[in-house]
Every structure is written in structure tokens, then in C-alpha cells.
Amino acid sequence: MNNRIVFLSASRLQSVTMKKTLLFFFLLCSARAWAQPEIKPYGALPSPAQVKWQQLEYYMFIHFGPNTFTDKEWGHGDEDPKVFNPTELDARQWARTAKLAGMKAIIITAKHHDGFCLWPSEYSKHTVRESAWKNGKGDVLAELSAACKEYGLLFGVYLSPWDRNHPDYGTPAYNQVFANQLREVHTKYGHVFEQWFDGANGEGPNGKKQVYDWDLFHNTVRKYHPEVIFFSDAGPGCRWIGNENGFAGTTNWSTLNGKQFAPGMPGINKPLNEGQEDGTDWIPGEADVSIRPGWFYSPGTDDKVKTLPWLLDIYYGSVGRNANLLLNVPVDRRGRIHKNDSLRLMELRKTLDADFKTNLAVRARTSAVNTRKNSMLTSAVYLTDGNYNTYWATGEGQLTGTINLSFEKPVTFNRFQIQEFIPLGQRVKGFTVSVLEGKKYREIARETTIGYKRILRLPNTTTRSVRIEILDAKASPVISEVKLFRAPELLADPVIKRDKQGMVTITAASQDPAIHYTTDGSEPTTASPQYKGAPFAFAQSGTLKARSFIDGGKKAGATVAVTFDRAPATWKAVTPDADKAVDGDPSTSWIGKAGSFPQELVVDMGASQAVNGFTYTPRTKGGIIYNYAFYVSADGQQWGEPVAKGSFANILNNPVKQTIKLSKSTQGRYFKLVAISAAEEKETRAGAAEIGVF
């Protein structure tokens, strides 16, 4: 009997499940039957390949070649190919690193401007075949393409048409040479998802420039990879974002009037950065940036890998602004990704995973105003279903709309994500995000475009209702996803700066910390004044301290202290061309004329004041003063004896700010620093990054 009951219960369960399934399909078919006509696409549209490309979001760029070994960014093409000789090349390590970093693909510089080919091209004598690596039997592209396949990554190639080595460059014959090289790369190494074309066009070894046959190049590649994404200033698959900093515009359209642009064209940075609202072609942005100061590896940059907050800014400024991020990670001279780069990539991956760990919006009850009528296929419920291919839409011709996310219990979030369904075009021109506080909504963000994905970093905000208002659009808005996250706060120490007028600004590499400061030399606490972004006056000499706090003040960073001289607001250098020594900015400097010592710098402070001491910040290179004398004068004519005289000990080896306190306070309007001798024996000029008094 029990077995029969179980059997009957299972049968009943199967019956109920079947009924629900049939009901779902009935409703779906009914919805399609009585819904409004299908949403009309608007404007330029992406190809299916471009949609898939946009969904990659984040992938690796690798610059590797002779420049890696010569410490150059642009080789001249006359390098001995034998200089290319990595000792431990491991393409699997590159691919494994990219995979663990959360990247979806790798693009490598198969041929840079020096003409060196990372594969044994039949159309060049400047290749891995002529190198010392593996006795000329190696093939970097073969190893990397196999590694990408092993780790489930897409494989892309950069080939520069500029060739500073090939003898045919600058003649009609070269275009076919380059086309032949493209054919080699696109037939020997499997699928290629992106073909990256640099816009550089300089002179070859014969002093001539090349007129590139772009139609030939494109047609050659399309013959073997018809869905490849072409990168260049003009696309047509994707475009350069207009800078090498990794940031898309806060307004970023994926459309461009492609015929108005060409690779290497000057003066087009702004439209490339922001796109064009009424562009006739779908050419989305790709933001390229290096994890180091340069594109190729240099041992001198091992300690200059971009910080985590910097990389987070780049991620949110690219992927978070409707662009893909191509992050360059140069391979070192061993043929491996350096541990400093790898560790930073893992740190970034860990942080991003934590930032987007839990989508709070799935808890919300969704509703909307101006929803397309008589259509179950464009309901607000699809906004939080986690499926990019479902969406909410307004009625045909309705260019505004409101989305509400309501929660049973208050939620706290600091990341807001919204996506348009781009297969139907990019439409939204402006939107706001507001939260319910009491009985009123407070606006917390006002932005322009959305595109494939827009992510906003916000302060921690607690509410039971979030409202998104579409303010304007090119056509009926079609929104695929809305998500909310609470990212862990990132602690970053403050940076204190003051201008010549004595106005202080305090920043941090992360937006998360609350920054508290003091002006009396005491330690900052959460009870100290909080810096909220507006500059404040601190013209006197003294020490300003600041400290970052997160998690409601439970966690704190290190105290940062800066001691300022008096602000040189009214100061003027009497010595010709020396104003940069008293502009309040140590990054600028004065260097005097060549001659014998002593040399002097005279400054008018604009009014008589007490001088208790002076500071001297040397230039980083050249003009460093060693022996000095310091004078104060009421009229700039009568100087008397120096109020301080001596030497800046060890300043050549440790060129930092020097502070000299006077034995007694001296009143005067003018001061003079006399360089009696320089720190370097053959130096003929005196210089200063900054001179101050206190």
C-alpha cells in the first residue's frame, strides 16, 4: 500500500508539473498572439558577433617581441633578431593567468612596428625563425593559440601594417606582403575572434610611407574569419576609445559615423571616447591600457604595476561605461608574466568577485510605469530574472519610463548596474536613480547613456525602494537587467594637496572611505571634521593630518601628515623666470642660467611678515644646491648678514625637502636663497622645485 501511495504521489507530481509546463507554454503563445507588434529595432544595430564580443567584457593584451629585450616601446626594425631569446617561455602560464584573472580572451602583438613576426612568416626575414629562441624552430602563435584552446579562451592577434624592417614597405608590393602575412596568421592558428589594427603609419627602412590597402586587408581576413571583430580607430568591428588610459566617456554611444574616421586620423579622440549619438554604424568602444607605465616589459617598471584602486577605477570606467576592457600584461624576458603583475590581477579578480557576489535586486518586487501594453513579453518581472535576452520595454514611441524595485526589508547597496538590450539598438539618453527616504525619493545619481552595461559606484545607501527614471531616449527604452550589489568597502589612504592660494583638497584612490582631518597636528578620529569634497583654506604654515575610515568607522587606515609652509599666494619671484620655484607645486621647477657660483634666487612675498625658517625642495635632476646662505630684507636692497648659512647634507643621494629653522624670527618682505655651490661637481646651474618659508 505504501509503495502504491508513493507511486500515485509521484504520478500526481508529474501531472502537476506537466500542467504547469503546458500552462507556461500556453501563456507564452497567447502572449505572442495578442501582444503588440514586435519591438522595432532602432538605428544602427550590432551584428550577432558584436553582441558576443561585447559580452566578453574583459580580456588580456600581450605586448611581446624584441622590444621586450631592448627596453624600447617602438623598435626601429634594425634590431638583430637574435636578441629575441626568452629563456622560459610558457604560453600556458599566460593563458592560465588570464583565466584565473577572469579574462575571456588574449590578444597578442604578433607583429609590432619593428616588423618582427612571432611566427616563422614566409614573407619576412625578421621573425622567430631568425632568432636565437629554440634555435629558430619556435612559434609563439602556435604555442599561445594552443594554450588559449586548452584554457577556454578566445585567441586574437595584433598585426601592425607599419613595418620598419621590410624592404618593400613604402611600395605597392608591400600591401600584398602584409595581406599574405594576415593569411598566414588566419589559416594556421585556429579561430581568431579579433583582428587588431594599429593606426600608426610611419616611414620604413627606405624612408617612405605606405598607402595602406584596407579593403585588401579586411577582405583577406574575412575570407577565413567572416565574423572577426576588426579593431581600429574606424572599426568597423570595434573602435579605439580615444586614449590609452582605459577610460570610456561618461557618455558613451556604441554608434559612430564610420566613414568620417580612418586609422591614425588626428583630432578624433573626443568622438571616439564618447561615440556619436546619431552614428550610422555600430562600432562599440574598446578601452586599452597597460598594467604598467609602458606597453612592453621593462625591468625598471617591476615596482610600478598599477595599484588595485587604480585598476578598479579603470574597470568601472570601461566595462562600467559600455566599453570592453583590454588590459595589457607584458611578458617579461623569461617569457613569463611577472609575479607582480600576476598577483595584482588576482587581487583585482578577488575584489571584483566580492563586489558582484550577491545581486540584491532579485529580492525586489518589480513594477514599472509606461510599460508596453498588452504584452507579457516586456514585463517588469524580466528586469531581475538574470536573463539578458528578456527585457522590459515602454510602449511604441514612449520615450520615458519609471522602474521601481521594492523590498520587504531595507537593503543596503553601493553598486548599481543597468543594461539595455542592444540587439534592438542603443536608445537611452538619460536616466536617474533615486531611493526612498521616509516618504520622499532622493536622487543619488543622474547619468546619460547606458548601452550594453552601465555600472555606478555609489556610497552605501539603505532603502526599501529604488526608483529608476528614464528621462529621455532615442526610441522606446528596452531594458534587459537591473542589479544592485553591496561591495565591500575598499580602504585607501588619503592624498593631501594644496594650491598656491592655500586651498586644500583631499582625495583617495577609492571612493569608499570617509576621510577625517585635523589642522592642529592632532590625530584624526571619526569625531574630527569630515572632508566632503569641497576645498578648504589652509594658508598658514603647519601640519595637516588626514585618515580614511570604512565600515562605519570600525576600520581605519594610516594617518597621512603633510607639513606646509605659508601659502605663496601673493609671492612673486624677482629673479627672472623663477616663478615655478614659488608656485606651490613641487612637480614644477626652476633652473637658473649656466655660470659660476654663487647664484641667487630672490622672492617678493608681497608684504612684511615674520620668517621663522625656510624650506628647499630640490629638483629631481640637475641644479641641486649644496652650500647655501639665506637672507631676509625689508626692501629687497639692503640684505645684511645671512640669517642662515650651511649645507644640505647628503642631498644628492637623498634629494628630499630640506627644512632649516632660524635661530630667531626675522621680519621682512623679501628673502634670498644664495647657492654657494652645487651638489654635483660639474654642475653650472642652481635650481629648485620649491622654496618656502614658515
The string of pLDDT tens digits covering residues 15-67 is 433 433 443 344 444 444 333 448 999 999 999 999 999 999 999 999 999 99
Q: How far apart are CA 323 and CA 223, in angstroms?
A: 27
Residue found under cell 637623498: 654
Confidence of residue 377 (pLDDT cuts 50, 70, 90): confident
Residue 583 is predicted with a pLDDT of 94
Q: Bin 559: left if φ > 0, else alpha if -120 < ψ < 50, else beta.
A: beta
| Full 3-state SS string of 480-498 | EEEEEECCCCCCCCEEEEE
Whole-number pLDDT of residue 199:
81
Q: What is the pLDDT of residue 266?
A: 87
Q: Is the pLDDT of residue 2 over 60?
A: no
| Residue 631 pLDDT exceeds 90 | yes
Position 512 pLDDT exceeds 60? yes
Mean pLDDT of the 378-384 span: 94
Q: How confident is the model at residue 4 (pLDDT cuts 50, 70, 90)?
A: very low
Question: How far is it, in rounded angstroms, from Cα 597 to Cα 601?
Answer: 12
Q: What is the DSSP string of 56-110?
A: T-EEEEE--SHHHHHT-SS--S-S-GGG---SS--HHHHHHHHHHTT--EEEEEE
Q: Is the peptide bond before 236 cis (omega within 30 degrees of 0)?
A: yes
Tell me the CA distances in angstroms from 573 to 97, 587, 599, 671, one per residue in order: 54, 17, 14, 10
Beta carbons of 607 and 669 less than 8 angstroms apart: yes
Cα 58-61-64 angle, rounded to 5 deg: 165
Average pLDDT over residues 295-307: 93
- Residue 363 makes CB contacts below 8 A (sequence gap 6+) with 407, 408, 411
Note the pLDDT of residue 32.
40
Question: Where do runs of H (alpha helix) occur along 321-410?
Answer: 339-355
Residue 602, strand partner residues: 672
Cα–Cα distance measured from residue 510 to residue 492, given in angstroms and rounded to the nearest whole number: 6
In the predicted model, is pLDDT for residue 202 greater than 90?
no
**Coil, strand or helix at 377:** helix
Q: Do 198 and 160 contact (CB within 8 A), yes or no?
A: yes
Mean pLDDT of 159-177: 96
Quick one: pLDDT band at residue 8, thresholds 50, 70, 90? very low
- Indicate the pLDDT class of residue 509, thresholds 50, 70 and 90: confident
Average pLDDT of the chain to the nearest whole number: 93
Q: Tens digits of per-residue pLDDT, 642-692?
A: 999 999 988 988 888 999 999 999 999 999 999 999 999 899 999 999 999
Residue type at position 275:
G
How large is the average pLDDT for residues 365-377? 88
309-368 residue pLDDT tens: 899 999 999 999 999 999 999 999 999 999 999 999 999 999 999 999 999 999 999 999
What's the Cα-to-Cα distance from 108 to each of 54, 154, 196, 314, rounded to whole Å?
Answer: 19, 11, 9, 21
Residue-wise pLDDT tens digits, 454-468: 999 999 999 999 999
| Contact between residue 292 and residue 305 where contact means Cβ atoms under 8 Å apart | yes
Give 560-619 pLDDT, tens digit per residue. Answer: 999 999 999 999 999 999 999 999 999 999 999 999 999 999 999 999 999 999 999 999
Q: How confident is the model at residue 10 (pLDDT cuts 50, 70, 90)?
A: very low
Q: Which residue has the cell 503588440?
A: 36
| Sequence-separated (6 or more) residues with CB below 8 Å from residue 106 | 59, 60, 61, 62, 94, 95, 98, 144, 148, 153, 154, 155, 156
When pLDDT is averaged across residues 203-219 and rounded to a whole number, the result is: 92
Query: Strand, coil or helix: what is 470?
Result: strand
- Give the number of residues written for the chain: 694
Q: Is the pLDDT assigned to residue 386 strictly greater than 90?
A: yes
pLDDT of residue 120: 99
> With contact defined as beta carbons under 8 Å apart, do 619 and 656 qualify?
no
- Which 3 state secondary structure label does DSSP give 213? coil
Domains and CATH numbers, the chain: 56-355 (3.20.20.80), 360-485 (2.60.120.260), 494-564 (2.60.40.10), 572-693 (2.60.120.260)
Q: What's the burial of 68, exposed, middle or buried (CB within 10 Å: 0-12/13-18/19+)?
A: buried
Is residue 108 within 8 Å of residue 140, measured between CB atoms? yes
| Mean pLDDT value of segment 224-229 | 98
pLDDT category at 395 given cuts 50, 70, 90 is very high
Q: Burial, 638: exposed, middle or buried (Cβ in 10 Å; 0-12, 13-18, 19+)?
A: exposed
Position of cell 509521484?
10
CA 652 to chain centre: 36
- Judged against a pLDDT cut of 80, whether residue 501 lies above it is answered with yes
| Percent of the chain at pLDDT exceeding 70 | 95
The pLDDT value recorded for residue 620 is 86
| Cα separation, 29 vs 37, whole angstroms | 14
Measured CA to CA in angstroms, residue 324 lies from 134, 327, 474, 505 at distances of 36, 10, 23, 32
- The pLDDT of residue 269 is 93
Cα pseudo-dihedral 44, 50, 56, 57, rounded to 10: -30
Per DSSP, the chain holds a count of helices (H) and strands (E) of 10, 33
Q: The C-alpha cell of 102 is what?
A: 577572469
Q: What is the Cα–Cα distance from 200 to 205, expressed in whole angstroms? A: 15
